[in-house]
Amino acid sequence: MRRFHRARKWQSFRRSPGAEMQAVIRVQQRDFSLAEEYDCLAGRTDIGAIVAFVGRVRDLAPGEALELEHYPGMTEKALAGIAEAAQQRWPLQAVTVIHRVGKLGPAEQIVLVLTASTHRAAAYEANAFIMDYLKTEAPFWKREHTAQGAQWVDARESDETAKLRWEKQ
C-alpha cells in the first residue's frame, strides 16, 4: 500500500531536480474564492495552463441545506495523497484542493480543484483524476436537510466506475 506524507497547508514535493510541485490542501467551513486561488498561481511564468473545477450544491430549495461531515486528519492525508498520485502521473507545477465542510445552502460552493501544468492535456486529465478519487476515497459524507427531514446521501456506483477508468490505463 502506498504511503503518503501527512497533509500540511503548503506542501512541496520534489519530483526531479529543479522541478518542484506546489500543493495546497485545505478543508474548511468558510467559502473560497476561485479568483484568489487562481491569482496565487497566475504569477508563475512556467505555468502554461490552469484548469479549474468547482463543485456546487444543486437541486436544493430555499431553506434546505446540505451538511458535510468529514474525518479530520484522514481527510487532509487522503487529499494530499491524491494530489501526489496525480503529480506522479502528469507533469504538474501546482495543485490546489479546497473542500468545505459544515452546512451549505442552495448554490453554495463545495469543492475547488486547480491543476496547473505546462500544457492543457495534463491539467485537464489530472483535474478529472483528482475529482474522481476525491469522490470515492476522501472521507466526506453528505447529509441533506429538507422539509422531509435529514437524510444521508448514498454513494453512487457511477462515481466508482469513473475512478476505475484511471486504473485500466
Partner 1 sequence: MNTIKILYFARLREAFACAEENVTLPAEVHNVAALIGWLAARGGVWTDELGGKRVFRVAINQDMARFDAPIPPGAEVAIFPPVTGG
Q: Contact residues for partner 1 (CB under 8 A)?
A: 1, 3, 55, 68-71, 73-74, 77-78, 99, 110-111, 131, 134-143, 152-156, 159
In Å, the largest CA–CA distance within the chain is 57
Rank residues 76 and 93 by Cβ distance to partner 1 and give the closer one: 76
Rank residues 110 and 116 by Cβ distance to partner 1 and give the closer one: 110
How far is it, in rounded angstroms, from Cα 146 to Cα 130?
Answer: 30
Rank residues 39 and 152 by Cβ distance to partner 1 and give the closer one: 152
Category of 102 on φ-ψ map: left (φ > 0), alpha (ψ -120 to 50) or beta: left
Contact 118, 91 (CB under 8 A): yes
To partner 1, the closest distance from the beta carbon of 101 in angstroms equals 9
Closest CA relative to residue 82, chosen from 124, 134, 27 = 134
To partner 1, the closest distance from the beta carbon of 1 in angstroms equals 7
To partner 1, the closest distance from the beta carbon of 128 in angstroms equals 12
Rank residues 123 and 134 by Cβ distance to partner 1 and give the closer one: 134
To partner 1, the closest distance from the beta carbon of 54 in angstroms equals 11
To partner 1, the closest distance from the beta carbon of 81 in angstroms equals 9
Going through the chain in order, the beta strands assigned E by DSSP cover 10-16, 19-28, 49-56, 65-70, 92-100, 102-104, 109-117, 140-146, 149-152
Rank residues 83 and 131 by Cβ distance to partner 1 and give the closer one: 131
Instruction: For residue 168, give every residue at least 6 positions away whose Cβ sits within 8 Å of its Cβ, in sequence order, or none.
Output: none
